[in-house]
Amino acid sequence: MPIKKIGIVGAGQMGSGIAHVVALSGFDVAVNDLERDRFDKALSSIDKNLTRQVASGKIDEEEKKRTLARIKFAESFADFADADLVVEAATEEETVKRKIFVALCPYLKPDAIVSTNTSSISITRLAAATDRPEHFIGLHFMNPAPVMELVEMIRGIATDDVTFARTREFVDALGKTVAVSEDFPAFMVNRILLPMINEAVYTLYEGVGSVDAIDTAMRLGAHHPMGPLQLADFIGLDTCLSIMQVLYEGLADSKYRPCPLLVKYVEAGWLGRKTHRGFYDYRGDTPMPTR
C-alpha cells in the first residue's frame, strides 16, 4: 500500500522543514512535540518560507493555503494511530530517540513504518528499541529540508525489502534524490562533511587562520557556498560535536577526535545561530567572528 499519512516527532528545525516538504507534496502530516508553542513557531516558520516561495513564483497562493491546511498538531502519539509512516526528528541523542520509539510504537498500526532523521546514529541499534525492526529505516533529510535535494536512505540489518521500496516511493514523491548508504557511523554525507568542519576548527584552534580567513579561503578557494565555520554555526555546534563523537567512538580512529575548541564552545553554550553565538556573534545586524 502507498504511504499517504505522515507523522513527525519533533517540531524543531528539521521536523518543521520535513513537514513543509511533505505537506507541499500533497501528504497529510501530523506533528508532535512536547510543547504546543514549538509547533506554533514551526507553523509560523513554514508560513514564512511558503510566502517566500510564492514571491519567487515557485508556488501560488492557493498552493500555500492547501499546504498549511495539511499540517496538524498531534497532541500525543495516539494521534499517529492511522499514520503510514512516522519520522522521528528529535535531538541527536540516542537515549532520547530510543525512549521516543519505545513510547511511540504501541500506538501504531502493525504495518506502519518508523523512520529516523538521525544524521549519524546506527539505524540497526535504534531499530532494536522498536517492536518492528523490519519496518524501521533511516531517512536523513539535509538541512534546510525544503531547499536541499538529497535524502540519504539507510537500511538497518533487519529492514525488509517492502519497507525500503515503500519508503523510497514516498521520497521520490517528495521530488528528492535518494542516496542509499550502508549503516556505518555518520553514513556518507556527514562522514565526509563533519571531519572537514572539525579540521577547520582545528585550523582555528592551532592559530593557522582566523574565523574570517578560514571561511573566506574555503568560499573563494574551494568554491563552497559558505565557509566551514559558518556552516557549523548553521548546523549547530552541539550537533557537530555529537556527530564527531559518534564517528570517534564508532570507528575508533584518532582522525575523528573532536577538536577541543569545538568542545569548549559547546560547553559555553555557544551553539551557533540558534543561541546567537558560535564561531560568529549574531546579536548585531552583521555576524561578527568571535575569534
Residue-wise DSSP of 43-103: HHHHHHHHHHHHHTTSS-HHHHHHHHHTEEEESSGGGGTT-SEEEE---S-HHHHHHHHHH
Where are the chain's structural domains? Answer: 5-181, 190-289
Assign domain 5-181 to its CATH superfamily.
NAD(P)-binding Rossmann-like Domain (3.40.50.720)
Q: What is the largest CA-CA distance in the chain?
A: 57
Determine which one of 20, 117, 135, 140 is catalytic.
140
| Lookup: cell for 263 | 568542545
**Which of 100, 89, 253, 129 lies closest to 184, judged by CA?**
253
Quick one: pLDDT at residue 1?
82
- Confirm whether 94 is a catalytic residue: no
Q: Are 270 and 291 spatial neighbours (Cβ–Cβ below 8 Å)? A: no
Give the global pTM.
Answer: 0.90
Residue type present at position 269: G
Quick one: pLDDT at residue 277?
97
- Confirm whether 135 is a catalytic residue: no
Q: Which class does domain 190-289 fall in?
A: mainly alpha
Residues of the chain with confidence (pLDDT) below 50: none
Determine which one of 119, 120, 122, 181 is catalytic.
119
Q: Are 154 and 187 spatial neighbours (Cβ–Cβ below 8 Å)? A: yes
- Confirm whether 276 is a catalytic residue: no
- Confirm whether 140 is a catalytic residue: yes
Write phi, then psi, for 174 (nearest 5 degrees): -80, -10
**Which of 108, 94, 107, 77 lies closest to 9, judged by CA?**
77
Quick one: pLDDT at residue 109?
96
Burial 237-251 (b: 16+ CB within 10 A, else e): bbbbbbbbbbbbebe
Quick one: pLDDT at residue 197?
98
Grouping H, G, I as helix, E, B as strand and the rest as coil, residue 215 is helix
Q: How far apart are CA 119 and CA 151, in angstroms?
A: 11
Determine which one of 152, 181, 198, 242 is catalytic.
152
Determine which one of 32, 190, 198, 242 is catalytic.
190
| Lookup: cell for 97 | 530517540
